[in-house]
């Protein structure tokens, strides 16, 4: 029989003898039935004394078991060492791609669309003629006005020569001059009207859609003729909550993900609005989107991760190892006094945390650089408990 079993047997025999030694006369039941206060108090004092003796004996036995038992039940844990590193917090938002160079062209003149000179998918340059609308006789009117203007010009030039020679009256000279200037103005106005019958590209781009076919009757400012788009100057506009107004500024780094394309691009905030919308307490932010491959289209959904906070000397821990006490304080366990066999003491440390990103959280107070923090087993250890460290993780995010 081993020493430990022998000690346990002695304890069991002692308890049995104590129990059997209590005669019926001195039993608790008989003393309670006597209703004698002094006798009851005396019996209670005896039992308390016996309990103290038993507790002391049990403590002695526990101490001896601890020394003799080589297979102690020590929790096995893993740890990682806290290290200062750069921490970038990302504000995640959603937005749609758009461009200022996206336009549905409408005519400036009423009439019949006589000619469409472009096709869908065709690249055009700024000022290029896209279509022609019947001028309704404006061209003939312009030719007649031009003849009258030429006559007025000739008359004016002759009157001017005579007037320079002091021949004729001043009123004749002024009338000729006024008539000539009026004719020039009338010609210019008609030319402007006639120019409206020619539809030109407002900027360089691609004809995305020809909406109205040749031969259709169109109305000024009402009938959509075609849609033109330029995919080079793309951007995303999104609404940012007002609490980030000091953090999300021009130049901040942005990671843009396009789930449909499986594509990620890195860019910056190029414009942040100075106006807070009172309806939803947000301000608009514009993010430039490089699009050399022309794969990003207008109205495409995008996920934005805007770098609103950076700490170049942060201590980070996994959120999964943090617990909270009844007072609402957060804490983790660190290993102290570790020996060569990897055994140490788990100590509870109250911490103050900052921002979170993914599975990690920033620790602002409570942990020093190089502290050995419990990872696997953090939820099962107790403050002051002896633990055995199996491994020290090189990366706190490794599972």
**In CATH, what number is assigned to the domain containing residue 233?**
2.40.30.170
Statement: residue 157 has pLDDT above 80? yes
For residue 271 the two structure tokens come to 């414009």
Q: Which residues are CB-neighbours of 57 under 8 A, at least 6 positions away? A: 11, 14
Q: How confident is the model at residue 398 (pLDDT cuts 50, 70, 90)?
A: very low
* Residue that wins the pLDDT comparison between 282 and 13: 282
For residue 259 the two structure tokens come to 């789930």
Q: Flag whether 399 is in a domain.
A: no
Residue 67 has a pLDDT of 65
Q: Are 147 and 205 in the same domain?
A: yes
Per the prediction, the chain carries an average pLDDT of 85
What is the average per-residue pLDDT within 254-269?
Answer: 92
Q: Are 211 and 242 in the same domain?
A: no
Query: Could you give phi then psi for residue 228, rounded to 5 degrees?
Result: -120, 140
Q: How confident is the model at residue 24 (pLDDT cuts 50, 70, 90)?
A: low
Percent share of the chain, pLDDT over 90: 36
Q: Are 327 and 289 in the same domain?
A: no
Q: Are 344 and 381 in the same domain?
A: yes
What total number of domains does the chain contain? 4
Q: Which domain holds residue 368?
A: 76-86+312-393
What is the average per-residue pLDDT within 284-295?
Answer: 89
Q: How far apart are CA 225 and CA 75, in angstroms?
A: 77
pLDDT digits (tens, 9 = 90+) for 130-144: 999 998 888 888 888
Please say whether the beta carbons of 132 and 199 come within 8 A.
yes
pLDDT digits (tens, 9 = 90+) for 50-99: 888 888 888 787 677 666 655 457 888 888 988 888 998 999 999 999 98
């Amino acid at each position: 029989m081993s020493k430990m079993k022998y000690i346990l047997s002695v304890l069991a025999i002692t308890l049995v003898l104590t129990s059997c030694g209590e005669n019926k006369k001195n039993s608790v039941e008989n003393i309670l039935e006597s209703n004698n206060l002094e006798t009851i108090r005396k019996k209670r004092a005896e039992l308390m004394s016996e309990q103290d003796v038993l507790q002391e004996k049990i403590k002695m036995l526990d101490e001896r078991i601890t020394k003799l038992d080589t297979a102690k039940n020590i929790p096995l844990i893993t740890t990682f060492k806290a290290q200062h590193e750069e921490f970038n917090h990302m504000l995640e938002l959603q937005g749609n791609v758009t461009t200022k160079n996206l336009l549905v062209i409408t005519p400036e003149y009423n009439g019949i669309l006589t000619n469409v000179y472009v096709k869908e998918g065709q690249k055009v340059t700024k000022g290029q003629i896209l279509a022609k609308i019947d001028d309704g006789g404006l061209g003939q009117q312009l030719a007649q006005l031009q003849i009258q203007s030429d006559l007025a010009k000739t008359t004016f030039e002759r009157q001017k020569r005579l007037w320079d020679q002091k021949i004729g009256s001043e009123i004749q000279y002024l009338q000729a001059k006024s008539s000539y200037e009026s004719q020039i103005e009338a010609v210019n106005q008609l030319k402007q009207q006639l120019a409206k019958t020619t539809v030109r590209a407002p900027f360089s781009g691609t004809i995305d859609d020809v909406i109205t076919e040749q031969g259709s009757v169109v109305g000024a400012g009402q009938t959509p003729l075609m849609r033109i788009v330029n995919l080079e100057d793309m951007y995303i506009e999104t609404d940012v909550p007002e609490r980030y107004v000091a953090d999300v500024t021009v130049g901040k780094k942005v990671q843009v993900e396009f789930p449909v394309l499986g594509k990620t691009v890195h860019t910056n905030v190029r414009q942040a609005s100075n106006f807070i919308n009172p309806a939803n307490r947000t301000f608009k932010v514009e993010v430039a989107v490089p699009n050399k491959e022309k794969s990003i289209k207008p109205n495409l959904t995008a996920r934005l991760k805007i770098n609103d906070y950076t700490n170049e000397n942060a201590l980070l821990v996994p959120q999964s190892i943090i617990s909270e006490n009844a007072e609402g304080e957060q804490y983790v366990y660190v290993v102290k006094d570790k020996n060569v066999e990897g055994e140490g003491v788990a100590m509870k440390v109250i911490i103050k945390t900052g921002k979170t990103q993914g599975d990690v959280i920033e620790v602002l107070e409570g942990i020093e650089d190089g502290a050995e923090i419990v990872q696997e087993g953090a939820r099962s250890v107790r403050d002051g408990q002896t633990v055995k460290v199996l491994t020290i993780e090189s990366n706190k995010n490794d599972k």
